[in-house]
Amino acid sequence: MASRVKRVMAEEASRGSAGGIGSQVLPFAPMSAGYGKVAVLLGGRSAEREVSLKSGNAVLNALKSSGVDAHAFDPSEYELAELKEFDRVFIALHGRFGEDGTIQGALELMGIPYTGSGVLASALAMDKWRTKLVWQAAGVPTPRYALLTSRTNFEQVVEELGLPLMVKPASEGSSIGMSKVMQAADLQPAYELAAQHDRLVIAEQFIAGEEYTAAILGDVALPLIRLETPHTFYDYEAKYVANTTRYLCPCGLAPERERGFQALALRAFELLGCQGWGRADFMLDASGTPYFLELNTSPGMTDHSLVPMAARQAGLSFEQLVLRVLENAHVG
Ligand SMILES: Nc1ncnc2c1ncn2[C@@H]1O[C@H](COP(=O)(O)OP(=O)(O)O)[C@@H](O)[C@H]1O
Ligand SMILES: [Mg+2]
């Protein structure tokens, strides 16, 4: 066993039942030493390639500093068949061909354990429309919406859902192709922009209120994070460029309300069949009613990303988090 891994275990064991948030929500789970040769999948060919390179390199460095025999693997540069020489895969790809079940299917066929959700859950969570259908059927609250096509009567959509509206491609991430529509005349141009990214476009009732995200690790929801941005919504700039976005963790909710939303987030995760880890984005309207927006099955993993922030609040370092995710790698 690598010495760093041993140290991580010792640190976790010594926290034991001392009562820190981490030890309460994350019961000690021994790390198995046998990770073997690990490929960190990064880059890829989705619109989120650049973010994935950052996530993947952060994961790679963390694994290496824990003594794991980890190697970067960019599927847009190498044949997937070359993964055969690896014992495990850490998926740090975002978006299409990485988070959507395709690479998961390839790894299933090759029989190589990989991190995160399986084929079905990855594909389902990538599709914001079908995610909403499942959540609606099972009572997880999500904003009202309409599917848009070139033949849609846009005025009728505005009549039904009101304004403002959020228009988004069903299968993108990082707020790509999204717009907030303030007046009826802007709906069609917003649809056309979103349609450049995906065949499926949805218009959602705009939820004016607080934005939160719930990171999930194994079968627990980590402390919630509240996001505050002076932008009209949490757009690409606010996510990756601006330094005006504020992240509050602890999030400021009363503990029992936070626990309620964590339980709901875990249910939203389990309903889609997600595994290993993920992140549910949701909003609270002015009356405090939650609305789940989406579930990310391969969330950002840079030092500044949200899941690492929530993990830190739960007492887990970035290195420990990465090992936990790797530990849950699976096939089938
Ligand atoms: N219905 C909505 N009401 C208000 N804000 C929204 C709504 N949908 C999305 N947003 C804003 O847009 C951001 C990105 O939307 P999201 O559905 O999470 O897609 P992405 O996959 O791009 O993260 C959210 O973090 C939130 O700030
Ligand atoms: Mg989101």
Give per-residue pLDDT as tens, 88-118: 999 999 988 999 999 999 999 999 999 999 9
Q: Is 46 in the pocket of ligand 1 (CB under 6 A)?
A: no
Q: Is the dihedral of CA 215, 220, 223, 224 positive or negative?
A: positive
- Of all ligands present, the nearest one to the C-alpha of 168 is 1
User: Going along 48-185, which residue ranges are E strands?
Assistant: 69-73, 88-91, 145-148, 165-169, 179-181
Gap from CA of 166 to ligand 1 centroid (Å): 8
Which residue's CA is the closest to the ligand 1 atom numbered 25? 234
234 is written with which tokens? 């949490």
Has residue 2 got a pLDDT over 80? Answer: no
Task: Enumerate residues 6+ apart whose C-beta is below 8 A from 286.
Answer: 208, 209
Of 48, 58, 57, 28, the C-alpha closest to 95 is 48
**Cβ–ligand 1 contact at 298 (below 6 Å):** no
How far is ligand 1, taken at its centre, from the CA of residue 258, in Å? 20
The Cα 103–Cα 168 span in angstroms is 24
User: Is the shortest distance between the CB of 174 and ligand 1 below 6 Å?
Assistant: yes
Query: Considering only CA atoms, which residue is closest to atom 22 of ligand 1?
Result: 175
Residue 36 CA to residue 26 CA, distance in Å, equals: 25
| Of the candidates 35, 62, 37, 49, the residue with the CA atom closest to the CA atom of residue 321 | 62
Cα(49)–Cα(173) distance, rounded to whole angstroms? 11
- The per-residue pLDDT for range 65-74, each reduced to its tens digit, is 999 999 999 9
Contact between residue 22 and residue 315 where contact means Cβ atoms under 8 Å apart: yes
Pick the CATH number of 145-205 from 1.10.10.60, 3.40.190.10, 2.10.109.10, 3.30.1490.20: 3.30.1490.20
Q: Which ligand is nearest to the CA of 293?
A: 1
Q: Residue 144 Cα, ligand 2 centroid: separation in angstroms?
A: 17
Lowest mean pLDDT segment, chosen from 19-33, 183-197, 290-304: 19-33
Determine which helix (DSSP H) or strand (DSSP E) holds 240, and give its type and residue range: helix 236-240
Q: Both tokens of residue 303?
A: 């030092």
Kindly indicate whether the domain formed by 125-141+208-308 is annotated with CATH number 3.30.470.20: yes
Q: Which atom of ligand 1 is nearest to the CA of 296?
A: 21
Give the pLDDT confidence score for residue 33 in this predicted structure. Answer: 57
Q: Which residue has the higher pLDDT, 71 or 332?
A: 71
**Domain ranges in the chain with CATH number 3.40.50.20:** 3-115
Whether 248 contacts 233, CB under 8 Å: no
Compute the distance between CA of residue 198 and CA of residue 219 in angstroms, rounded to an integer.
Answer: 32
- Return contacts of 265-270, CB within 8 angstroms, 24+ apart: 265/214, 265/216, 265/221, 265/224, 265/292, 266/214, 266/216, 266/219, 266/220, 266/221, 267/138, 267/140, 268/135, 268/140, 268/292, 268/295, 269/216, 269/295
Start and end residues for every CATH 3.30.470.20 domain found in the chain: 125-141+208-308
This prediction's pTM: 0.89
Ligand 2 mean position, distance from CA 202 (Å): 14
Catalytic residues: 48, 174, 240, 279, 281, 294, 296, 300
For 3-115, the fitting CATH number among 1.10.10.10, 3.40.50.300, 3.30.750.24, 3.40.50.20 is: 3.40.50.20
Q: What crossing angle do the helices spanning 187-195 and 154-161 adopt, rounded to 10°? A: 110
